[in-house]
A and B are shown apart, each in its own frame.
Chain A
Amino acid sequence: MGPVILGFIFALLVSGCFAFIERSERRDRIRYFIKAFVYFFLSILILGWLMRLLPL
């Protein structure tokens, strides 16, 4: 399993759980889920890309 797919599954499920824990109303929950998912997944992509530049 590639790291991007793993990151996608991670972002999807964690955002879903956080949306249910943090928000009570259905509409707020959907908005929170989309926002959290985009932030998580973009962070994974950007930080992953930046880490490629590190001499590890």
Chain B
Amino acid sequence: MSQKPIRKLPPVALLGMAWLVPGSAHLFLNRRFRAALFFVTVGLFFWLSMVLGAYVVIPGTEVYATESFAFFKFLGGLANGLHFFLALIFKSEILNYTTINELKAVLTNEYATTLLYTAGIINILSGVDAMDIWKGKKN
């Protein structure tokens, strides 16, 4: 039998919360272990991908114009929520790579890209899971 959520929010706000800070919606619904798991997984995958040489694609840049499936890559990055925006601000300060070609030449770039988009998908799935809990379909 499904357990009733303790607190309620409008669904759009819950989805926004889940997207922006991974695991926050589960924490709000009192699912602490699940919240920690999603927070750690998305955060670890995203920042590991940044360290291993992934790059985010943003509309209006030179990379966006030359990259294949650029819009989907942008969405994949954006799915990571706050991490995506933090990466835009701090990535150049963390890493020494200056050009996109340098990043593509890094040996671990393929691993990094896999981790980046997996983190985005997990974040979206965690939002869907939070919605199911909110509706009472899951415990």
Instruction: Give A residues with C-beta under 8 Å from B.
Output: 1, 3, 6, 9-10, 13-14, 16-17, 20-21, 24
Contact = CB atoms under 8 A, between A and B. Distances in A.
Q: Chain A's interface: helix, strand, loop or mixed, by majority? A: helix
Contacts, number: 35
Contact of A24 (B41, B118, B128, B138): B138
Contacts of B122: 14, 17
Contact of A14 (B2, B111, B118): B118
A21 B129 contact: yes
Top-8 shortest CB links A-B: A13-B41, A21-B129, A17-B122, A20-B34, A21-B125, A17-B41, A24-B138, A16-B37
B115 A10 contact: yes
Contact of A10 (B34, B118, B128, B139): B118
B81 to A, nearest CB: 15
A18 B56 CA distance: 25
26 contacts: A3-B111, A6-B48, A6-B111, A9-B44, A10-B45, A10-B114, A10-B115, A13-B40, A13-B41, A13-B45, A14-B41, A14-B118, A16-B41, A17-B37, A17-B38, A17-B122, A17-B125, A17-B126, A20-B34, A20-B37, A21-B125, A21-B126, A21-B128, A21-B129, A24-B138, A24-B139
